Amino acid sequence: MALTLVLATLAACGKHEPPPAPPLKNTGPTAIDADKFIADVNADLRKKMPFLNSAQWVQSTYITDDTELLSSTANEQWMEYLGKTIEDAKRFNSVEMSRDTERSMRLLKLSTAMPPPSDAAKREELAKLASSMEANYGSGKWCRPVDGKEECLNLNQIEKILNDPKQTPQARAEAWAGWHATSKSIRKDYQRFVELTNQGAKEMGFANTGEMWRSGYDMSPADFEKETDRLWAQVKPLYEELHCYVRGKLNAKYGDAVVSKNGTIPAQLLGNMWAQQWSNIYDQVEPYKGVRSVDVTPALKKQRDEELRKLLKAFKGTPTPMQRSDLEHQADAAQAVRMTKIAEDFYTSVGFPPLPKSFYEKSMLLRPRDRDVVCHASAWDMDMKGDVRIKMCIDPDAESLETIHHELGHIYYDLMYNPLTPLFQGAAHDGFHEAIGDTITLSLTPAHLAKLGLASSQKEDPKATINTQMRVALDKIAFLPFGKLIDQWRWKVFSGEITPAQYNEGWWKLREQYQGISPPLPRSEEDFDPGAKYHVPGNTPYTRYFLSFIIQFQFQKALCDAAGFKGPLYECDIYGNKDAGKKFMDMLSTGASKPWQETLEKLTGTRQMDASAIIEYFTPLMAYMKQQNQNQSCGWEPAADKVPEAPAVTE
């Protein structure tokens, strides 16, 4: 018994049991998890974006308290989803993942210009502010007494006063001030909007909303800011020559009391509510009087009038004023469709597909007569799979025809990248999206417009070339500093460098610095002049337009090379060239799936944005302006603290 016990004990001592298994470590998310997360987000976007876009579309095309509530609620729900999703994405920060998944993660975090706070109440407040500010812009009116009655004018009607050459400078200053007064009421809203978006940006890891915006360019925010400064330095000489030339012409017309020889130009005299493009004053600065240059407005208006005559002829009897108004609206609508089809024809001629039938059924091409709308032109991809539309109030004029070509550029970009996953359905950078349609407008040469029957077919002489280039420069070159300064102002506002107490002062300092423009009437901090430009209350980043006005010429040069064109760049027309069209479509189909440097290289052969093409394009005009400006004092001195009242000069 004792021996047995001893043996049993020895056997037990010699037995080696394996140590207990250690608890499983939490290894965290994997690359596979990251792939699934992005796949789920893409699926969510396909479901959620159509509802958000529909709510915003209805609010923009039918402004009421009800549609404002719908849009606000949709925005709030979207921001809640986006905020939560971006927060969830942070758990993959240290995961090594595929290039596409990593890029999708970054694009997700930068997918909104309005970063939402995590706090639900603040998200709701931000959504309501955004909808309210946009509605204020769309319904804004200037009311004034006329013949003992109050007359209230919308933006389009106010602009007609501003651009009427028969109006005095003072009358135009009053119209200018009338529209700018509509934005006073959103000053406090915008201040709060900045506070809330900055909080959202900080929660996402950015210093402020401006830094977040500058992070969307495949380079550091600091490097991007240097890049915009480099590009501005390239094009600044073009603008300074144009400013000097135009100021000299306006000074000769109005005298020193209205336009000084060496100062800033009063904003109301440049033919545009924001003095951002100056083509409406072409007749006042035309280089060679009487020498033909292309203006298609008369031909477009003639088409519209012919349409009206047909409708009146088909009408039985004499129409009442109401019936005639209906017929005029029908003529306007028919002309709007005709002009849109002119633009569509250009795209299809180089190989793009025809627009979907639903485009013409659902787009808003004309200002409705029964409701307030946001007439600011915009392009919409409603569902990421073919429901594309534009919203604008088309007039039978050259500006609208160019704008339609621009907006269809957005539409065709959307259609080209629709096969990609939702997070890749975007531009290589936002400047690309703005440049596509404008690139096409560079082919609307005098010869091309003659083929359309919108201009004379006779060959241009050198003087006519200068006149034509001046007309283009008043849009393309005049815009450059304005395109840069809007976000310069907002970046400073978001960072706190411009405080709420300096909103208007900071705005006009930048407009003077970059544009050499001054307000027509004294301004104060009771005003909120930045808010009179749609993109500020609409919270649309604006540097994209500055970039687009440079790279569109870079794109055009590459397309002309692909088409085998050998003449001066300003004469190139790629209409009907399938080789150029294929190269364009190949670039657009990449969407946001690659860094913009790779996408740019695909079309142009270079990875750097460059202004040399725009300088090449305007070579004849630049030589002319330098000669004309020889005896002028170019540059500008600071504007006086108070703007003198303009005398009643009749034009």
Burial readout 39-78 (b: 16 or more C-beta within 10 A, e: otherwise): eebbeebeebbbebbbbbbbbbbebeeebbebbbebbbbb
Give the pair of three-digit tokens for residue 26: 């939490």
Q: Can you give the pLDDT at residue 461? A: 84
- Residue 91 labelled as part of a binding site: no
Residue 9 scores a pLDDT above 70: no
The answer for residues whose C-beta is within 8 angstroms of residue 105's C-beta and 6 or more apart is 34, 38, 89, 92, 97
pLDDT tens sequence across 486-517 = 999 999 999 999 999 999 999 999 999 999 99
State the Cα–Cα distance between residues 586 and 559, nearest whole angstrom.
12
Q: Can you give the pLDDT at residue 631? A: 87
Rounding to the nearest 10 degrees, give the CA dihedral for residues 312, 316, 317, 319.
Answer: -50
State the Cα–Cα distance between residues 263 and 516, nearest whole angstrom.
8
User: 603 and 464 in one domain?
Assistant: yes
Burial of 234 (0-12, 13-18, 19+ CB in 10 A): middle
Range of the domain at 368: 297-409
Residue 165 scores a pLDDT above 90: no
Residue 574 in contact with residue 552, Cβ under 8 Å?
no
User: 494 and 536 in one domain?
Assistant: yes
- Give me the catalytic one of 407, 429, 433, 460: 407
pLDDT tens sequence across 137-148 = 989 999 999 888
Give the pair of three-digit tokens for residue 226: 């240097």
Residue 62 included in any domain: yes
Unique residue bearing structure tokens 């539409």: 411
State the Cα–Cα distance between residues 279 and 475, nearest whole angstrom.
6
- Give me the catalytic one of 180, 243, 448, 535: 535
Give the pair of three-digit tokens for residue 649: 């000069």
User: 310 and 444 in one domain?
Assistant: no
Unique residue bearing structure tokens 């603040």: 122
State the Cα–Cα distance between residues 159 and 172, nearest whole angstrom.
9
- pLDDT (mean) for 118-143: 94
User: 305 and 281 in one domain?
Assistant: no
pLDDT band of residue 641 (cuts 50, 70, 90) is very low
User: 284 and 243 in one domain?
Assistant: yes
Residue 616 scores a pLDDT above 70: yes
Closest to 521 in 3D by CA, of 169, 232, 211: 169
User: 80 and 211 in one domain?
Assistant: no
Give the pair of three-digit tokens for residue 506: 């900071």
Number of separate domains in the chain: 3
Residue 464 included in any domain: yes
Residue 295 scores a pLDDT above 90: no
- Residue 544 labelled as part of a binding site: yes
Residue 32 included in any domain: no
Q: Is 407 a catalytic residue?
A: yes
Residue 228 in contact with residue 546, Cβ under 8 Å?
yes
Residue 246 included in any domain: yes
Q: Can you give the pLDDT at residue 280? A: 92
Residue 369 included in any domain: yes
Query: How many helices, marked H, and strands, marked E, lie in the chain?
Result: 24, 6
- pLDDT (mean) for 348-359: 98
Q: Can you give the pLDDT at residue 206? A: 95
Give the pair of three-digit tokens for residue 22: 């250690």
Residue 649 scores a pLDDT above 50: no
Domain closes at, from 111, 143, 166: 111
- pLDDT (mean) for 551-566: 97
User: 328 and 282 in one domain?
Assistant: no
State the Cα–Cα distance between residues 449 and 428, nearest whole angstrom.
31
Rounding to the nearest 10 degrees, give the CA dihedral for residues 288, 233, 541, 598.
Answer: 110
Residue 414 included in any domain: no
Specify the amino acid at residue 158: I
Question: Which CATH number characterizes residue 239's domain?
Answer: 1.10.1370.10
Comparing 19 with 542, the larger pLDDT belongs to 542
- pLDDT (mean) for 530-547: 96
Unique residue bearing structure tokens 């687009």: 548
Q: Can you give the pLDDT at residue 640? A: 53
Q: Can you give the pLDDT at residue 199? A: 97
Residue 355 in contact with residue 412, Cβ under 8 Å?
no
Q: Can you give the pLDDT at residue 2? A: 41
pLDDT tens sequence across 46-66 = 999 999 999 999 999 999 999
pTM equals: 0.88
Give the pair of three-digit tokens for residue 147: 């013949």
> DSSP class of residue 513?
I
- Residue 434 labelled as part of a binding site: yes
Q: Is 535 a catalytic residue?
A: yes
State the Cα–Cα distance between residues 153 and 142, nearest whole angstrom.
5
Residue 129 scores a pLDDT above 50: yes
User: 304 and 178 in one domain?
Assistant: no
Residue 284 included in any domain: yes
Residue 8 scores a pLDDT above 50: no
- Residue 240 labelled as part of a binding site: no
Residue 13 scores a pLDDT above 50: no
Q: Can you give the pLDDT at residue 17? A: 54
- pLDDT (mean) for 261-280: 96
User: How many C-beta atoms surround the C-beta of residue 135 within 10 A?
Assistant: 22
Residue 644 scores a pLDDT above 90: no
